[in-house]
Structure 1
Amino acid sequence: MDPREGVYRNVMTFHCGQCNTVWADSLGLCGEAKCCDSLICSKVTLDVIIKKELESSLEEKWENCIYNSLSCSGCGCSVGVVLVSAPQHLASLRSLFLIRKDNMNGYQFSDGSMVKASTLNFDIEPIGKSIATLKQEMEAALKHISLLHGSLRESSTASLD
């Protein structure tokens, strides 16, 4: 399997690139925030330490944000942030774990390999697109059933004559 293929087809765990501590898994993955080169996770392991102090930064990607920093319990390296307050363009990321891809590896269960997270594609198809496709498939199936039902009705009427 191509390591850049969507992780929804490949269950993974995400590890610290320095000490291999497990930070999260693909079951808690919500997608990727390309603006800050981070994975968006709904949950992380207990090995990710959430610092209690609120912070802000002059760094462009976190400008006008207030957040809690995340660090690795294994080696103390920076893992990412949890946004507490953010401008409108980052509002949807509040209260989620933003884990930086640059110092992370992913263990792929399908083939037992460890790969750099920066080489992986974590784009997740918008649910609206999936729902639209499902709706089209259901409408086609319903039309097919209606046609079959009509054919059965006609054949049963013809056999009565």
Structure 2
Amino acid sequence: MAVRRCIQQLFQEPQLDGAITFERPGPVLRSWGRPLREDAGTPRGAGPQREPNSPGGGRLLRRGLRLEECALFHCRGCRAVLGDSLHLCAQEDRCLRVLACFKVTNDVVLDDSLMVGIEGPLLGCAYYALYCHSCGLMVGFSLYSAFAALVHLRGLFCLFKDNILCYRLKTKAMIEASEMNFPALSLKEHLGKLKEQLVGVHVRLELLIKKLEELNQQITMADKQGYASRTVGLKLGFSGIKSSN
């Protein structure tokens, strides 16, 4: 029953609630940022990048990932590693020019101050700014509340393409993030396959449970028949004594 309840909950469509709906503004987005600190000129990264033919690259190939679609995201100001394309979880927004990730590195700092957009596509949206820990450059935002068109980005780390660089694992080259187009990600197909697998597992579990119950019934019947055969011919109140010759 517990497995059946879990599968029923998985099949239920997610309900989005708590969104604040505002009038959608024009396509112009204000360029954000703050002055770099004096130490911003010192390049900073997360160590040497792993080559595609390294053990890490082999793991990517075994997972079915194509190297030409894999990239690291670096801060434009100091080259610190902010994230990678493996954690992209939403279709690239052409209007905002951001890459939405569900996970970033420790070099991305989430500001504690809740800000509200007063112009551009984020008009009326509440968000937290994302800064580079090394140089202080504003590299993106994380939406707290938004209108319906952007509600799918709530809680994600949205990195500005204009403020990051991409290191491509296939070519081992650093290029502008604005020059790269990442394919649209669709989780429906993966969820559909996962649901089919779960249904198959559930069906097999039910068959195994049914066979186990039938086997238990057969064992119980055999025990009863064996006991009845041993007590045939005995009078009430007497028991048979096995004699050894």
Shared fold (TM-score, shorter chain, > 0.5): yes
- Give ranges in structure 2 of 5+ residues lacking alignment: 1-65, 194-245
Among candidates 115, 122, 125, match of residue 65 of structure 1: 125
Question: CA separation in 2, counterparts of 1:127 and 1:28?
Answer: 13
Residue 138 (structure 2) pairs with residue 90 (structure 1): no
| Map of 1:106 onto structure 2 | 166
Residue 126 (structure 2) pairs with residue 42 (structure 1): no
Q: 1:8 to 1:55 in 2, by over 3 A?
A: farther
- Give ranges in structure 1 of 5+ residues lacking alignment: 1-6, 135-161
Kept in 2: contact 1:32–1:122 (CA 8 A): yes
Among candidates 70, 78, 95, match of residue 19 of structure 1: 78
Secondary structure in 2 matching 1:118: helix
Pick the structure with more strand per residue: 1
Among candidates 173, 176, 179, match of residue 116 of structure 1: 176
Question: CA separation in 2, counterparts of 1:129 and 1:28?
Answer: 17
Shift of 1:109: 1.1
Shift of 1:10: 2.4
Question: CA separation in 1, counterparts of 2:184 and 2:119?
Answer: 27
Structure with bigger gyration radius:
2
- Structure 1 stretches of 4+ with a deviation exceeding 4 A read 127-132
1:128-143 matches, within 5 Å, as none
Shift of 1:53: 1.1
* CA offsets 1:105-156 (integer angstroms, 9 cap, x no match): 1001112111100000023154557899x9xxxxxxxxxxxxxxxxxxxxxx
1:71-86 matches, within 5 Å, as 71-86=131-146
Question: CA separation in 2, counterparts of 1:8 and 1:99?
Answer: 21
Q: 1:37 to 1:128 in 2, by over 3 A?
A: same
Question: CA separation in 2, counterparts of 1:119 and 1:129?
Answer: 28
| Map of 1:157 onto structure 2 | none
| Map of 1:54 onto structure 2 | 114
**TM-score, normalising length from structure 2?**
0.48
Root-mean-square deviation over aligned CA pairs:
2.1
**TM-score, normalising length from structure 1?**
0.72
How many residues are treated as equivalent by the alignment? 127
- Percent identity reads 36
Secondary structure in 2 matching 1:34: coil
Kept in 2: contact 1:8–1:26 (CA 8 A): no
Question: CA separation in 2, counterparts of 1:104 and 1:53?
Answer: 23
Question: CA separation in 2, counterparts of 1:9 and 1:127?
Answer: 20
Secondary structure in 1 matching 2:150: helix
